[in-house]
Amino acid sequence: MTLDEVKIGGLGASRRRVEDNRFIRGKGNYVDDVVLPGMLHMEIVRSPLAHARIKKIDISGAYKIPGVRLVMTGEMMAARNLGWMPTLSYDTQAILATDKVRFQGQEVACVIADDPYIARDGCEAIVIEYEPLQPVVNPMQAVAPDAPLIRDDKVNQTDNIVFDWEVGDVIGTDQAFAEADVVSEIDMHYPRSHPSPIEACGSIADYDRSTSKLTVYMTTQAPHIIRAAVSLVAELPEHMIRIISPDLGGGFGNKVPVYPGYVMSILASILLEQPVKWIEDKSGNLISTGFGRDVYLKGQMALRNDGKILGVRMHTDSDHGAFFADAQPSKFKIGLMHSAFACYDIPNAHLTARGYYTNKAPGGVAYRCSFRVTEAMFFQERMVQAAADDLGMDQAEFRRKNFVRDDDFPHRTPFGFLTDSGQYEKCLDVGLEAIGYDDFLKQKEEAAARGRLLGIGISTMTEPLGAGNSREYDILGIKMFDSAELRVHMTGKAILRTGAKTQGQGHETTWAQIVAHELGIPAEDVVVEEGDTDTAPFGMGTYASRSTPVAGAAVSMVSRKIRAKSRKIAAHLLEVSEEDIDWELGRFYVRSAPDRGVTIQECAMAAYSNVPDGMEPGLENNAYYDPPNLTWPFACYIATVEVDPLTGVWDVLRVVAVDDCGVRINPMIVEGQIMGGLTEAYAMANMQFITFDADGNCVGGNYMDYLLPTAWETPGFELHEVVTPCPHHPIGAKGIGECATVGGPAAFVNAVIDALKGTGVRNIDMPLLPDRVYEAVTQHHDVSGAPPVKTD
């Protein structure tokens, strides 16, 4: 009797999320829920100015408040060699400002007190004198002749440029442009956005002098990287550091970097020998922690009249804020921007990138994307639409003509990536059919005759998800593989631990499904645990859609090791040789006598009670998985919109999403990821950005200005699927967590630009606020959204 895989919660089962049992009952255990005996509370004083010299800090007022235990300033940190810390991109970042403040919201002092009210009273009692300096709020200002030097702390830094970087073939690309019939151009700004998890950052540091052990409860997506970083920064031995990342209220890339607040709470706990809790408020999170995007994108495409793309030139100017703290692989200065155009068969491409320091918060984190892939795909799909328009070609037809063919995999992209698999044209066809493409074009024409502006936008893309391999991908030299450890108990129940860290993705549910698929142990019999560096195997954490491609693969591999040992035990129990045994889900049987068999649970019991001579007892193992390649999911997103020409307001009519992420482990969770991603895509296209005024004030540092869409305005999404299994992943799965956030924005923007077709408008920068759209509609020109925002 063969087990039904879906019934035991294996692959393809839309199993309800195990973790929701506690979340919907309010029984989650977040950092702020952790209370330790004798715990003190820390609060941070932040700079009100974007760029200013610190003249004087008077902390005496804070010490007059009963219950204030410690006040720390940059000077004190510097005296302990903790004024600065390394960033994830080989730069340095101030923990507490010493010489000057370099962005609004920068940490200047902190107060540790008996309760959080007193800590805040203490912060208010600190008096700081600043001498304002000229602020820099965009790359153009950063290289202006009169620009102030932001990083005067760095010995060899003479300007505000972080890096110059290039990739691709400059000669071949020049040649392609020389041969082009048409050259299409685009010039855009992808605005600064913020991952904005519902739970902000926080930590509880607990240094115990009697054991010399430092335990830190921390909101981190990558606890093992943090352990290594703390060991290096605080000069504590790694085995005496335990990082516990409990339940996380979302991450989206925001909880990858090391933030000053973590380090301050650790130092405070060491100094006071008491646990110190720091819980960041939402404004602190929005103004000071890792943002996403903020890149200027200039592109050129060399085209033949028949619609064939001959080559692409890309240039990016990226605004990194005051410290280069991007969380990304060391080798790639502008992340995986050069993954752009991977789904198109383009012979030549060249990318140049320049990074800039500005007086803005640091940390270009990958906000729900695989290291700047969001910008890359937006760049690609906006460029593709502009090119199709310039050629007078239908935008779907233009894509179809340039797609990599199904039989052309693996395909080497012009920037050197190797895409693994896909059925691009099929996905596009499913999307066009679902939206009713031809009908909509007719409807659009009829509406135009009555003065109504309808538009349709398409975004098709493949993106690289699941870093490593470890040859090319590392963070601070630590190679990007991942791990899983599986212990099967004697009754056939199991505990699985991985080096990843769930933060809403549902690992506790889906990892068990992979075990069920590999071993036939029902998913409900497998408990999943992550986030404690004392118990979990070493891993690089969860971001960049790498969990399923890397840690998920490790879960498969460790399960297979368990199966291999179980096979030997089964042979012993069945008294036949291993070669005479076959496997079906959950059971070994004698090939010649299929009725004679033992279940995986029987093997587990025997592992603890009846192992063959010479075999180690027990049934547990681990696996470290170094992926041979990234996984390459494909997506086709199509949006239709109507623009109100009198106000510039645009409404979404329909959104169709076709995702091919290979084999779906839990379709319900996959669909949830896509809907969440499309919601964020809609938000970025429609309403969401963090901008700055000319004085460097952050506009968007609270939820009245930084808008998260609600169910009220979020459009409905129609989901479809195509399945092309990943050829190199053990279960054929590809990453999916970020596809919709990455590919979605261009669909909405392309739709609005399409509605304005014929007016000469090529671009409106996101978010497509009504005033920007209105300006484009009435003035017939492109609209820039680059800061500083105009105010009066």
Partner 1 sequence: MYPSRFKYETPSTVEEAIGLLHDGGADAKILAGGQSLIPMMKLRFAAPGTIVDINNIPGLDYMRTESDGTFRVGALVRHVDLERATELKDSQPTIAAAAHLVADPIVRTRGTFVGSLCHADPQGDWASCMVALDGSVVAQGPKGRRTIGVDEFVKGPFTTVLAPDELAVEAVVPKAQGVRSGGYLKLERRIGDFATAGVAVAIERNGDVVSRAGIGLTGVGSRTINAEEAAAAVVGQPLTPDTIERAGDLAAAISDPRSDHRGSADYKRHIVATFVTRLLTSMQPTREQSTEERVA
Residue pair 461/742 in contact by the 8 Å Cβ criterion: yes
Q: How far is the CB of 687 from partner 1 (least distance, A)?
A: 4
Show contacts with partner 1 in window 188-217 (CB under 8 A). none
We find the least distance from the C-beta atom of residue 790 to partner 1, in angstroms, to be 5
Half-sphere exposure of 218 (CA within 13 A, CB side): 35
Pick the binder of partner 1 from 177, 403, 588, 774 (CB under 8 A). 774
In the bound state with partner 1, the residue whose beta carbon lies nearer, of 379 and 774, is 774
The helices-and-strands tally (H runs, E runs) of the chain is 19, 34
Active-site residue (options: 106, 141, 221, 423): 221
Backbone angles phi, psi at 437, to 5 degrees: -55, -55
Q: Which is nearer to partner 1, 474 or 644 (CB)?
A: 644
b/e code 34-73 from CB counts within 10 Å (16+ = b): beeeebbbbbbbbbebbbbebeebebeebeeeeebbbbbb
Q: Active-site residue 395, yes or no?
A: no
Phi/psi of residue 240, nearest 5 degrees = -100, 10
As given in the structure block, the two tokens for residue 559 are 């399960």
List the catalytic residue out of 123, 201, 343, 369: 369
Identify whether the C-beta of residue 384 lies closer than 8 Å to the C-beta of residue 593. Answer: no
Residues 6+ apart with CB under 8 A from 542: 221, 222, 251, 500, 501, 502, 503, 505, 507, 551
β-pairing, 241-244 vs 213-218, is parallel
Residue tagged 């998890």 (tokens) = 197
Q: Which of residues 5, 705, 718, 721 is near partner 1 by CB under 8 A?
A: 705
Stretch that binds partner 1, among 84-92, 302-310, 350-358, 709-717 (CB under 8 A): 709-717
- Candidate residues 143, 618, 775, 784; the one interacting with partner 1 per rule CB under 8 A: 775
| 784 closest CA partner among 766, 770, 760 | 766
Interface with partner 1 in residues 469-498 (CB under 8 A): none
Among the options 19, 107, 485, 738, which is catalytic? 738
Piece in contact with partner 1 (CB under 8 A), picked from 236-244, 384-392, 482-490, 706-714? 706-714
Instruction: Please say which residue, 98 or 686, places its beta carbon nearer to partner 1.
Output: 686
Give the Cα separation of 536 and 225 in Å (integer): 13
The least distance separating partner 1 from the CB of residue 704, rounded to whole angstroms, comes to 6
Q: Which is nearer to partner 1, 464 or 744 (CB)?
A: 744
Identify residues 753-772 at the interface with partner 1 (CB under 8 A).
Answer: 767, 769-771
Closest Cα to residue 742, out of 467, 382, 468, 368?
368
Q: Which CB atom, from 695 or from 775, has the smaller least distance to partner 1?
A: 775
- Chain positions 642 to 701 lying near partner 1, rule: CB under 8 A, are 646-649, 686-687, 689, 691, 699-700
DSSP run (H or E) holding 619? none
**Rounded Cα distance, 240 and 217, in Å:** 14
Structure tokens at 595: 């009725």
Residues 6+ apart with CB under 8 A from 652: 639, 640, 641, 682, 715, 748, 751
Using CB under 8 A, pick the residue from 169, 713, 718, 721 that binds partner 1: 713
**Least distance between partner 1 and beta carbon 774 (Å):** 6
CB of 116 to partner 1, least distance (A): 5
- For partner 1, which is the closer residue by CB, 126 or 465? 126
Amino acid identity for residue 549 in this structure: P
Contact between 293 and 190 under an 8 Å Cβ cutoff? The reply is yes
Q: How far is the CB of 745 from partner 1 (least distance, A)?
A: 16
SS3 category, 278: strand
Nearer to partner 1 among residue 211 and residue 710 (C-beta)? 710
**Omega of the bond prior to 767 within 30 degrees of 0, cis?**
yes
Q: Which of 444, 467, 355, 343 is nearest to 398 (CA)?
A: 343
Helices (H), 234-359: 260-272, 282-288
Give least dist CB 133 to partner 1, A. Answer: 24
Q: Left if phi > 0, otherwise alpha if psi is -120 to 50, otherwise beta: which for 67?
A: left
Closer CB to partner 1, 185 or 775, in the complex: 775
Q: How near is the Cβ of 516 to partner 1 at its closest, in Å?
A: 40
Instruction: Give me 223's structure tokens.
Output: 């606890």
* Active-site residue, 738 included: yes
Pairing mode of beta strands 411-412, 418-419: antiparallel
Q: How far is the CB of 451 from partner 1 (least distance, A)?
A: 15
Which of 258, 375, 451, 496 lies closest to 741, judged by CA? 375
Interface with partner 1 (CB under 8 A), residue total: 35
Cβ-Cβ contacts under 8 Å for 711 (sequence gap 6 or more): none
Q: Are 180 and 311 in contact (CB under 8 A)?
A: yes
Nearer to partner 1, 345 or 644 (CB): 644
Q: CB of residue 33 vs partner 1: minimum separation in angstroms?
A: 17
Interface with partner 1, residue 425, by CB under 8 A: no
The two beta strands, 161-168 and 348-356, are antiparallel
Sign of CA dihedral 166, 170, 173, 174: positive
List residues bridging with 247 in a β-sheet.
30
Q: Which of residues 535-554 bind partner 1 (CB under 8 A)?
A: none
Site for partner 1 in 84-143 (CB under 8 A): 116-117, 119-121, 124
Report in angstroms how near the CB of residue 698 gets to partner 1 at its nearest: 11
Q: Are 488 and 509 in contact (CB under 8 A)?
A: no
User: Is position 221 annotated as part of the catalytic site?
Assistant: yes
- Select which of 102, 151, 227, 368 is catalytic: 368
DSSP at 239: G
Q: Binding residue for partner 1 (CB under 8 A) from 37, 579, 613, 712? A: 712
Residues 299-338 that bind partner 1 (CB under 8 A): none
Element (H, E) at 719: strand 718-721
The token pair at 655 is: 């959104």
Binding mask 345-374 for partner 1 (x = CB under 8 A): ------------------------------
CB of 187 to partner 1, least distance (A): 21
Write the binding mask 265 to 304 for partner 1: x where contact by CB under 8 A, - elsewhere. Answer: ------------------x---------------------
Q: Which stretch binds partner 1 (CB under 8 A): 168-176, 314-322, 629-637, 784-792?
A: 784-792
Of residues 415, 392, 381, the one with CA closest to residue 766: 381
The distance of closest approach from Cβ of residue 223 to partner 1 in the complex, given in angstroms and rounded to an integer, is 28
Phi, psi torsion values for 500, nearest 5 degrees:
-85, 180
Residue closer to partner 1, measured from CB, 217 or 774: 774
Cβ(17)–Cβ(530) under 8 Å? no
Nearer to partner 1, 604 or 783 (CB): 783
Which one of the spans 46-54, 89-97, 286-294, 710-718 is the region binding partner 1 (CB under 8 A)? 710-718
Q: Which is nearer to partner 1, 39 or 708 (CB)?
A: 708
Q: Which is nearer to partner 1, 408 or 651 (CB)?
A: 651
Query: DSSP code of 713?
Result: T
Q: What's at 596, amino acid-wise?
A: R
In eight-state DSSP terms, residue 360 is S
Residues with catalytic annotation? Answer: 221, 368-369, 738
The residue ranges that bind partner 1 (CB under 8 A) are: 116-117, 119-121, 124, 283, 646-649, 686-687, 689, 691, 699-700, 704-705, 707-710, 712-713, 767, 769-771, 774-775, 789-792
